[in-house]
Amino acid sequence: MSTVIVGGGPGGAAAAIWLARGGAHPLLLERDAVVTEKVCGEFLAADAAQRLDALGLDLAALGAVPIRRAIFAAGGWQAEMRLPFAAWGLPRATLDAALLEAARAAGAEVVLGMHVRDAAQKGHLWRVRLDSGEAIETPSLVLATGKHELRGLRRSAQHGAIGVKVPLRGPVPEAAILLLVCEGGYAGLQHRPDGGANLCAALDPRAPGVTEAARSSTALMAHVARGSALAERVLAGLTPTIQRPLTIAGVPYGHVERGCNAFRVGDQASVIPSFCGDGVAMALASGEVAAMAAIHGIAPRRFQAEWATRIKSGMRLASWISGLTGHSPRLLVAGIAAAPRVAAFVAQRTRLG
């Protein structure tokens, strides 16, 4: 019986590729029948690029847009820094499709449009039930459902921010990512390969205006625009391509899962604050490490504990920065402007992938 992977995002696809290369014959089940956009900022730093290269993917060939600067804004304050690493922007639909194709080429069985209802452990086997009523038994389960929960295997942290995303048309500063503080959180704005922009925000659902922002693309843009002079100026020249943003609730930023009999990867294992932009790299890394653990007979709980230890210091720093962004955003922007080398050092320390 092969390892079953539930979820076809970066973590699940990376696990499938490494398992297949290791001589296993993994079965990857993805609920979406076609690859779609996800609520994700789509920022890829050098650690993500290195792991994608090891998987046989070339960011330039996929059309990724280079990002070399970060611009921070809160109220009338603004600061800019050159990123201490190479970075790119690439739509998740493009990235996920390429990774799933690489998984097939490596020898994994990839099934799209297969919705998993739940999973439960019975003795030494996992029983994975599908919506069709069929059940699959496997000795090893990789949980790669991203920010979504699977019945029977919910993460211990269930409450958190709302993730919101909307693609936009119009010009944005090229080679830069804009990090825009607003009521209840912050948003990232970056150039897309199609010439438009991607606006993705992490917001506290209790903050004023957030409920409306999660329901309407124009309301989201207005909400972010009120947060800074830069956001107001840049967003004035952009228009949403969809009326209602892509949203997901209860995202537990900063959470690290520490114990489970399944191999949790990606956001199921750890959720770095989106402000740091290393989620995809961490998903790729955790997928690889989980695959190696499964191949060498390392128990999932040991893998989970070692992963938690590996990212502990970086996650603590990332959570602290995210908290500072929420409570003292102008202090953060002023600090970046006054000490860009320190900011660059911190950016390096939050590369956990």
pLDDT digits (tens, 9 = 90+) for 6-47: 999 999 999 999 999 999 999 999 999 999 999 988 999 999
Query: What was the pLDDT predicted at 117?
Result: 95
Report the SS3 class of residue 157.
coil
Closest by CA position to 268, among listed 56, 3, 10: 10
**pTM to 2 decimal places:** 0.96
User: What's the full length of the chain, in residues?
Assistant: 353
Please identify which residue in the block is written with the tokens 């790669």.
Answer: 144
**Cβ distance 32 to 117 under 8 Å?**
no
Pairing of strands 116-122, 125-130: antiparallel
Kindly provide the residue ranges of all beta strands, DSSP E only, lying in 218-266, ordered along the sequence: 239-240, 246-251, 263-264
The predicted structure's pLDDT at residue 1? 60
What are the tokens at 298?
């390392």
Quote the CA–CA distance of 300 and 290 in Å, as a whole number.
8
Identity of the amino acid at 252? P
pLDDT < 70 regions, the chain? 1, 158
* Spatial distance between the Cα atoms of 274 and 309, rounded to a whole number of angstroms: 20
Could you report the per-residue pLDDT of 71-92, keeping only the tens digit for each?
Answer: 999 999 999 999 999 999 999 9
CATH number of the 4-158+251-349 domain: 3.50.50.60
**Please, what's the largest Cα pairwise distance for the chain?**
60
Task: Count Cα neighbours of 140 within 13 Å in the Cβ-side half-sphere.
Answer: 25
Q: What confidence score (pLDDT) does residue 184 get?
A: 94
* Domain boundaries defined on the chain: 4-158+251-349
